[in-house]
Amino acid sequence: MIEAGTKAPGFSLTDDRGKQVSLEDFAGRKLVLAFYPLDWSPVCTDQLSIYQEVIGEIEAQGAALAGISVDSSFSHHAFRKHLNLTYPLLSDFNPKGEVCRAYGAWIDQVDHANRSLVLI
């Protein structure tokens, strides 16, 4: 995980609607990046559903939330719709895991993101 006080690595990823989303899009706001392994797994489904339950509290603190995994934007779109999520899911698909690695949220042995939160 990146150290507290470290400048957040920039990124530009495709969201679940096919739109490019960059770190700069959140300038002037707090941002919670929720790294998670994979769409559709039981634990990730629970994890992202819990974030949806507390999204009002996150936003009340002036923060935005975005999920990041290595799944495609197409998978994210279906997953987000299935769970009725109101926050974006960003695809770290190509090159696979580049942003996850930059934030220290990568597990080489399983080839996907570690479950972790980063507050920017």
Give the span between the Cα atoms of 16 and 71, in whole angstroms.
10
Query: Catalytic residue among 44, 66, 99, 118, which?
Result: 44
End-to-end alpha-carbon separation of the chain, Å? 13
Contacts of 111 (CB under 8 A, 6+ apart): 70, 96, 97
CA nearest neighbour of 5 among 104, 99, 119: 119
Among this protein's residues, is 44 annotated catalytic?
A: yes
Q: Which residues are catalytic?
A: 44
